[in-house]
Amino acid sequence: MPKIRNLHLWLVILAIYVVIAILISLRILNPYWQQIIQFAFIITISALGLNLIYGYTGQFSLGHAAFYGLGAYTSALFTKCFPQLGIFSFVLGFLCAIMVVGLVAFLIGLPILRLKSDYLGIATLGFGIIVKVVFDNADAVIPVMGGSRGMLGIPKFTVFPLTFFLMVGAIIVIRNFVYSNPGRACISIREDDIAAESVGIDTTKYKTLGFVIGCIFAGVAGVLYAHLYSFLHPANFDFLKSIDVLLIVVLGGLGSISGTIIAAIGWTFLLEGLRVILPPQILDWRLVIYPLLLIIVMIIKPKGLGGGMEFKFLRPQNGTHT
């Protein structure tokens, strides 16, 4: 039975892919919309990472955009330094970015994750601001990075199939992780870290593991972002961007993969899509409404709109649901 169900699922994913691909090839979706769709998938990957860190492991991070930016800048720098390698420069840059982000997340996570709740949030926020200052001044050391003038002329490698299947991959990885042994250890830390420790879970190890994986997701999203827009600016990775991702995770629901996907895609389309439709006077109100929504959701449903809910295919086939 399970095999057939998975087959259904793969067919559905493939169908979605084919439909969008056909729409693109028939030029029904113009390049602007293609970019928005890809951006939505990128944000989804990044938000899934934060959901793993905050939603599942319970570690409140406000520095997500820093890791997003680290991934973007690493890969962009690599591809710009080795243009002769062609597509391989992208592959290597991608791997390089994952390693850099993972290493930085590990090194910063190890000491910082000793802190709890709001203190951790503040420390990660501080880290995010430091990283942004480093990006701002990077041109003093590496002129190619452009510093506060922005980094130009990054080769475009991000294409629709890549973003789509990386997003699917991200969903599969996070789903399998959450229902694995280490994933359950992470969830137990979220529920009560003292109790988790007292039943023999190495909380430091699993906190760091969740944090590093989540940050690598952000890094992957950053790589895709860099090679999609071919322009990077430090302002794209400041702390308001971290809050954007947090908003998606919270609205979608803490510890809900489905919620995060819906919220990330919905958020991107509301933010970007409404730009085309609404007149400019009303447009400014978008940014007023999102925070209001956040406040209302927090007061009414602190676990987010889809907190604890999950599509059937994202749940394990047998056993209990967390």
Partner 1 sequence: MSYFLQQLINGLQLGFVYALIALGYTMVYGIVRLINFAHGDVFMVGAYLGFYALSLYHLPFPLSLIFAMAGCAIIGITIERIAYRPLRNAPRISALITAMGVSLFLEYFSSLKFIFGPNYLAYPRPFDVCIYGIGDICISNIQILVFFVSIILLIFLQFIVQKTKTGMAMRAVSYDKDTARLMGIDVDRIISFTFGIGSALAGAGGVLYGIAYPQIHPFMGIMPGLKAFVAAVLGGIGNIPGAMIGALIMGIVETMSSAYISSTMRDAIAFSILIIVLLVKPTGILGKGEIEKV
The residues binding partner 1 (CB under 8 A) are 60, 111-112, 114-115, 117-119, 121-123, 125-127, 129-130, 133-134, 136-137, 148, 194, 239-240, 243, 246, 250, 281, 284-285, 287-288, 290-292, 294-295, 298-299, 302
What is the per-residue burial (b if ≥16 Cβ within 10 Å, else e) of 144-154?
Answer: ebbbeeebeeb
**In the chain, what is the greatest distance between 2 CA atoms, to the nearest angstrom?**
60
Whether residue 45 contacts residue 36, with contact meaning beta carbons closer than 8 Å, is answered with: no
Q: Which residue, 126 or 273, is less far from partner 1 as judged by CB?
A: 126
Q: Which residue, 92 or 129, is less far from partner 1 as judged by CB?
A: 129
Question: Among residues 185, 184, 169, 191, which one has the least CA distance to residue 49?
Answer: 169
Smallest distance, partner 1 to C-beta of residue 259, A? 15
Whether residue 36 contacts residue 268, with contact meaning beta carbons closer than 8 Å, is answered with: yes
In Å, how far are 32, 246, 255, 260, 268 from 275, measured between CA atoms?
12, 22, 30, 22, 11
Q: Which residue, 66 or 224, is less far from partner 1 as judged by CB?
A: 66
**What is the sign, positive or negative, of the torsion defined by CA atoms of 259, 260, 263, 266?**
negative
Q: Which residue, 41 or 60, is less far from partner 1 as judged by CB?
A: 60
Smallest distance, partner 1 to C-beta of residue 211, A? 15
Smallest distance, partner 1 to C-beta of residue 146, A? 14
3-state secondary structure of 207: helix
Residue 232, strand partner residues: 151
Smallest distance, partner 1 to C-beta of residue 61, A? 11
Euclidean distance between CA atoms 135 and 237, whole angstroms: 9
Smallest distance, partner 1 to C-beta of residue 112, A? 7
Q: Which residue, 133 or 278, is less far from partner 1 as judged by CB?
A: 133
Smallest distance, partner 1 to C-beta of residue 36, A? 21
Smallest distance, partner 1 to C-beta of residue 7, A? 40
Dihedral over alpha carbons 248, 253, 256, 261 (to 10 degrees): -30
Q: Which residue, 53 or 223, is less far from partner 1 as judged by CB?
A: 53
Residue 6, CA atoms < 13 Å, CB-side half-sphere:
6
Q: Which residue, 93 or 234, is less far from partner 1 as judged by CB?
A: 234
Residue 204: is it exposed, middle or buried by C-beta count within 10 angstroms (0-12/13-18/19+)?
middle
